[in-house]
Amino acid sequence: MADFLRDLFRAMPKAELHMHLDGALEVKTAIELMTGRAPDAKAPDGGGTECPKNAAGGAFRAQSYEALYRRLVIDGPLATQAALLGRYDLPIELLQSEEALERVTDDLLRAKAADRVRYCEIRWAPALHCAGGLGVRRVVESVARATKRACARYGILARLIVVGMRFHAPRENVSMLRQAAEADARGLLAAADLAGPEAAHPDPTVQQPFFDAARRLGLGLTLHCGELPSSADAIRRCVLRVAPDRIAHGSGAAADESLCALLAERGIRLDLCPTSNIQAGLYADYADFPVATLFRRGVPVSISTDSPVISGLTLSEEYYRTAAGGRLGPAELWAINLASLDSIFAEDAVKRALKAEFRAWAHGVSELCPDASRPD
């Protein structure tokens, strides 16, 4: 049964709405960026022991392939969300050139296409990639260029979301957004997001000028909020005062039935990442993660990996683990996948085409669409 479910989730066309570019830096690419050459497959440590200069002029510390893997990929629960966010430090340090940004974007879309993700949204904070001298415009143009190319090469659709940071002043985030909007993003820039350590910066409403600027620029709006099980009040405040189109995480809403009703009524989708939240020590396991509760209360949800390399899994595996431990069957997970297309930051024609494609694929697959496969 386990193999059947894994194969089913691998084969089904999927949408992934919550995914960070700097959480997708593969170990072999990290070594290439550090050493200027591909890792040596024959060397026991992958050959990742050299330490030339990084793009910002500083030297990287020598590390073995295995040490680098351990530094990038989480393989057990961490103590806090802050510890998980610390895993982004090295990727951000390495992704400071156009070449590096293009490379990680290509790697990400290739891996997603291989996992049958048909549509994804890539988010990242351009301001964190300017230490090597790139401005926000060039950062956005590099990622957009690579996205366009990779989408054509691998047969996948994507849109971009630029992220403002909670620890940056609102005027800095507004400035980033304006520069991003001026860049030649090839029609792919679709939304703005706010991210960063929530415990240290609990009130997102201080970033209202950033949210207003996103709306003025005609962008969709999402923000990271409410990962903690006890964060229902923060999510309610965010819904009522910021009124985002979607919320990244927001699983804490499950503790409050009236908040669930509010999210359902307003159609605000929670882009959940079960593994990432479990790794951050916020939930004990998949049975503890409240996706089933939220779904059955009518809250729009989607399922994503957050960071495919840092969290160390594909979207198919995320679905499988959710099914295995999260009290949801394949038909419910398929319904979540299909409905998530209603909230993507893409044009209506793209939504319609993807929905038609997904429905056509699932027609007659009785585990996903039990009603459709019944004889009339």
Binding site for Zn ion (CB under 5 A): 248, 306
Helix 98-114 × helix 136-154 angle, to 10°: 30
Q: Where are the alpha helices (DSSP H) in the chain?
A: 2-11, 27-35, 65-72, 81-85, 89-94, 98-114, 136-154, 170-182, 208-216, 232-237, 257-266, 274-279, 291-296, 315-325, 330-340, 348-362
Least distance (Å) between residue 276 CB and Zn ion: 7
Choose between 30 and 223: whose C-beta lies nearer to Zn ion: 223
Choose between 65 and 88: whose C-beta lies nearer to Zn ion: 88
User: Is the CB of residue 260 less than 8 Å from the CB of residue 298?
Assistant: yes
Choose between 118 and 246: whose C-beta lies nearer to Zn ion: 246
Least distance (Å) between residue 320 CB and Zn ion: 21
Structure tokens at 251: 């699983």
C-alpha to C-alpha distance for 99 and 197, rounded to whole angstroms: 28
Give the C-alpha distances (Å, rounded to integers) separating 11 from 1, 42, 71, 117, 370: 15, 33, 31, 9, 18
Q: Cα 48 to the chain's mean position, in Å?
A: 27
Supply φ then ψ for residue 19, to 5 degrees: -155, 130
User: Is the CB of residue 143 less than 8 Å from the CB of residue 122?
Assistant: yes
Choose between 18 and 145: whose C-beta lies nearer to Zn ion: 18
Choose between 155 and 202: whose C-beta lies nearer to Zn ion: 202
Least distance (Å) between residue 224 CB and Zn ion: 6
Least distance (Å) between residue 227 CB and Zn ion: 9
Least distance (Å) between residue 176 CB and Zn ion: 17
Least distance (Å) between residue 41 CB and Zn ion: 32
Least distance (Å) between residue 239 CB and Zn ion: 18
Choose between 84 and 188: whose C-beta lies nearer to Zn ion: 84
Sign of CA dihedral 326, 330, 336, 337: positive
C-alpha to C-alpha distance for 142 and 106, rounded to whole angstroms: 11
Choose between 54 and 275: whose C-beta lies nearer to Zn ion: 275
Least distance (Å) between residue 23 CB and Zn ion: 8
Least distance (Å) between residue 279 CB and Zn ion: 12
Choose between 117 and 368: whose C-beta lies nearer to Zn ion: 117
Q: For the chain, how big is the Rg over CA atoms in Å? A: 20
Choose between 54 and 276: whose C-beta lies nearer to Zn ion: 276
Least distance (Å) between residue 118 CB and Zn ion: 21
Q: Is residue 25 packed enough to be buried (19+ CB in 10 Å), middle (13-18) or exposed (0-12)?
A: buried
C-alpha to C-alpha distance for 80 and 280, rounded to whole angstroms: 5
DSSP for residue 314: -
Nearest to 357 by CA among 347, 345, 349: 349
Choose between 63 and 276: whose C-beta lies nearer to Zn ion: 276
